[in-house]
Chain A
Amino acid sequence: MKNHRRLESGGRVDRSKRLNFSFNGRQYYGFEGDTLASALIANGVKVIARSFKYHRPRGIIGSGIEDPASLVELLDENASGNNLATTVILKDGLKAKSINCWPSVNFDFGSIIQYFPKLVPAGFYYKTFMWPNWHLFEPSIRKAAGLANAPQVPPKKGHFESRNAHTDVLVIGSGPAGLAASLTVAKTGVKVFLVDQNSEPGGNLLSSKLFINKQPAIAWVDDMVSELAKMDNVTHMQNSTAWAYREHNLIIVNEREVDNSSIIERSWRVRAKKVVIATGAIERALVFANNDRPGVMLASAVQTFVNRYAVKVGDNLVFFTNNDSVYSYIDDLENAGINILAIIDSRKKIPDQCLSRAKKIKVMANSILKNVNGYKQVRSINVQSLDTGKFETISCDLVAHSGGWNPAVHLHSQSRGSLKFNEKIAAFVPNKSIQNSINIGACNGTFALAEIFKETNQLMSKLSGEVKSESREDNFEVDEQHYSIEPLWSTDLSDEKEKAFFDIQNDVTYDDIQLALLEGYSNVEHVKRYTTGGMGFDQGKTGNINIIGAIAEQQGVGLDSVGTTTFRSPFTPVSFGSINGVRQGSVVLPFRHTPVTKWNLEKGAFMYEAGARWRRPGYFPKKEEGFQEAVNRECETVRYGVGVYDGSPLGKFELKGKDVGVFLDLIYTNIMSSLKPGAGRYGLMLSDDGLIFDDGVAFRIDENRWFISTSSGHSDAINQHMKKVLTFDRPDWDVKITNTTNQWNNATICGPLARQLLEKLSTNIDIDNEAFPFMTFREGMVAEIPARVIRVSFTGELSFEINVAPRNMLKLWEKIIEVGNEFKILPVGSEASHVLRVEKGFLSLGHEVDGTVDAYDLGMGWLMSKKKIDYIGKRSVNLRRGEKSKGRRELVGLLPHNPNEAIPEGAPITPKGKKVGTEGFTTACVWSVVNKRWVGLGLIEDGHSRHGEEACIRMKDRIIRAEITKPIFHDPDGKLLRS
Chain B
Amino acid sequence: MLLINCPFCKERNETEFVYGGPVGVDRPDPNAVADQEWVDFLTLVPNPTGPVFEKWWHARGCGEWFVICRDTVTHEILESPDEKS
0/1 per residue, B52-85, Cβ < 8 Å to A? 0001010100011110000000110100000001
> Are A248 and B74 CB-contacts (below 8 A) given A688-B42, A716-B59, A724-B65?
no
Contact A271–B3 (Cβ < 8 Å): yes
> Are A727 and B42 CB-contacts (below 8 A) given A248-B1, A248-B2?
no
A261-319, CB < 8 A from B: 269, 271
Q: Name, among A416, A720, A869, the residue most crowded by chain B CB atoms within 10 Å (CB to CB).
A: A720
- Cα distance A472–B34 in the bound complex, in angstroms: 69
- Cα distance A688–B1 in the bound complex, in angstroms: 30
For the complex, is A434 an interface residue (Cβ under 8 Å from B)? yes
For the complex, is B31 an interface residue (Cβ under 8 Å from A)? yes
Partner of A729, one of B27, B63, B66, B77: B27
For the complex, is A876 an interface residue (Cβ under 8 Å from B)? yes
0/1 per residue, A683-720, Cβ < 8 Å to B? 00000110000000000000000000000000010011
- Cα distance A716–B1 in the bound complex, in angstroms: 22
For the complex, is A576 an interface residue (Cβ under 8 Å from B)? no
Which chain B positions have C-beta within 8 A of A729? 26-27
Closest chain-B Cβ to A705's Cβ sits at a distance in Å of: 19
- The 27 listed contacts between A and B (C-beta, < 8 Å) are A247-B1, A247-B75, A248-B1, A248-B3, A248-B75, A248-B77, A249-B3, A250-B3, A269-B1, A271-B3, A434-B74, A688-B27, A688-B42, A689-B42, A720-B18, A720-B20, A720-B59, A723-B64, A723-B65, A724-B20, A727-B64, A727-B65, A727-B66, A728-B55, A870-B30, A875-B38, A876-B42
- Cα distance A689–B35 in the bound complex, in angstroms: 12
0/1 per residue, A529-558, Cβ < 8 Å to B? 000000000000000000000000000000
- Cα distance A869–B32 in the bound complex, in angstroms: 11
Interface size of B in residues (CB-CB distance below 8 Å): 26
For the complex, is A879 an interface residue (Cβ under 8 Å from B)? yes
- Cα distance A246–B43 in the bound complex, in angstroms: 31
- Cα distance A696–B29 in the bound complex, in angstroms: 26
Minimal Cβ-Cβ distance residue in A for B66: A727
Minimal Cβ-Cβ distance residue in B for A873: B30
Contact B74–A416 (Cβ < 8 Å): yes
0/1 per residue, B1-40, Cβ < 8 Å to A? 1110000000000000010100000110111000100110
A860-917, CB < 8 A from B: 869-870, 874-876, 879
Which chain A positions have C-beta within 8 A of B3? 248-250, 271
- Cα distance A879–B34 in the bound complex, in angstroms: 10
Which chain A positions have C-beta within 8 A of B75? 247-248
Closest chain-B Cβ to A436's Cβ sits at a distance in Å of: 10
Closest chain-B Cβ to A849's Cβ sits at a distance in Å of: 19
- Cα distance A234–B63 in the bound complex, in angstroms: 36
Minimal Cβ-Cβ distance residue in B for A729: B27
Which chain B positions have C-beta within 8 A of A869? 31
Interface size of A in residues (CB-CB distance below 8 Å): 26
Which chain B positions have C-beta within 8 A of A727? 64-66
Closest chain-A Cβ to B76's Cβ sits at a distance in Å of: 8
Which chain A positions have C-beta within 8 A of B74? 416, 434
Q: Name, among A250, A719, A728, the residue most crowded by chain B CB atoms within 10 Å (CB to CB).
A: A728
0/1 per residue, A404-436, Cβ < 8 Å to B? 000000000000100000000000000000100
Contact B38–A876 (Cβ < 8 Å): yes
- Cα distance A271–B15 in the bound complex, in angstroms: 14
**With A689-B42, A719-B63, A723-B63 given, can you name 17 additional A-B contacts, CB distance below 8 Å?**
A246-B1, A247-B2, A248-B1, A248-B75, A271-B3, A688-B42, A720-B57, A720-B59, A723-B57, A724-B57, A727-B64, A729-B27, A869-B31, A870-B29, A870-B30, A870-B31, A879-B38
Contact B30–A875 (Cβ < 8 Å): yes
Minimal Cβ-Cβ distance residue in B for A874: B30
Closest chain-A Cβ to B35's Cβ sits at a distance in Å of: 6
Enumerate chain B interface residues (CB-CB to A < 8 A). 1-3, 18, 20, 26-27, 29-31, 35, 38-39, 42-43, 55, 57, 59, 63-66, 74-75, 77, 85
Partner of A724, one of B1, B29, B55: B55
Closest chain-B Cβ to A166's Cβ sits at a distance in Å of: 10
Which chain B positions have C-beta within 8 A of A719? 63
- Cα distance A380–B7 in the bound complex, in angstroms: 71
Closest chain-B Cβ to A309's Cβ sits at a distance in Å of: 39
Which chain A positions have C-beta within 8 A of B39? 879
- Cα distance A782–B85 in the bound complex, in angstroms: 63
Which chain A positions have C-beta within 8 A of B66? 727
Q: Which 4 A-B residue pairs are closest in the complex by CB-CB distance? A: A875-B30, A727-B65, A247-B75, A248-B3
- Cα distance A707–B28 in the bound complex, in angstroms: 29
Closest chain-B Cβ to A338's Cβ sits at a distance in Å of: 50
Contact A250–B1 (Cβ < 8 Å): yes
Which chain A positions have C-beta within 8 A of B77? 248
Which chain A positions have C-beta within 8 A of B85? 434
Closest chain-B Cβ to A140's Cβ sits at a distance in Å of: 44
0/1 per residue, A74-107, Cβ < 8 Å to B? 0000000000000000000000000000000000
Which chain B positions have C-beta within 8 A of A416? 74
- Cα distance A520–B66 in the bound complex, in angstroms: 52
Which chain B positions have C-beta within 8 A of A246? 1
Minimal Cβ-Cβ distance residue in A for B3: A248
Minimal Cβ-Cβ distance residue in A for B21: A724
Minimal Cβ-Cβ distance residue in B for A737: B63
Which chain A positions have C-beta within 8 A of B30? 870, 874-875
Which chain A positions have C-beta within 8 A of B31? 869-870, 875
Which chain B positions have C-beta within 8 A of A723? 57, 63-65
Which chain A positions have C-beta within 8 A of B65? 723-724, 727-728
Minimal Cβ-Cβ distance residue in A for B57: A720
Minimal Cβ-Cβ distance residue in B for A720: B57
Closest chain-A Cβ to B65's Cβ sits at a distance in Å of: 4
Which chain B positions have C-beta within 8 A of A879? 35, 38-39
Closest chain-B Cβ to A941's Cβ sits at a distance in Å of: 24
- Cα distance A434–B77 in the bound complex, in angstroms: 13
0/1 per residue, A721-732, Cβ < 8 Å to B? 001100111000
Closest chain-B Cβ to A720's Cβ sits at a distance in Å of: 6
- Cα distance A269–B1 in the bound complex, in angstroms: 10
Minimal Cβ-Cβ distance residue in B for A690: B42
Which chain A positions have C-beta within 8 A of B55? 724, 728
Closest chain-B Cβ to A253's Cβ sits at a distance in Å of: 14
- Cα distance A136–B64 in the bound complex, in angstroms: 60
Which chain A positions have C-beta within 8 A of B18? 720
- Cα distance A879–B41 in the bound complex, in angstroms: 13
Which chain A positions have C-beta within 8 A of B63? 719, 723, 739
Which chain A positions have C-beta within 8 A of B2? 247-248
Minimal Cβ-Cβ distance residue in A for B20: A724
0/1 per residue, A229-255, Cβ < 8 Å to B? 000000000000000001111100000
Minimal Cβ-Cβ distance residue in A for B14: A248
Closest chain-A Cβ to B34's Cβ sits at a distance in Å of: 10
Closest chain-B Cβ to A458's Cβ sits at a distance in Å of: 24
- Cα distance A869–B29 in the bound complex, in angstroms: 10
- Cα distance A688–B30 in the bound complex, in angstroms: 10
Closest chain-B Cβ to A879's Cβ sits at a distance in Å of: 6
Which chain A positions have C-beta within 8 A of B38? 875-876, 879
Closest chain-B Cβ to A843's Cβ sits at a distance in Å of: 24
- Cα distance A875–B38 in the bound complex, in angstroms: 8
- Cα distance A689–B40 in the bound complex, in angstroms: 11
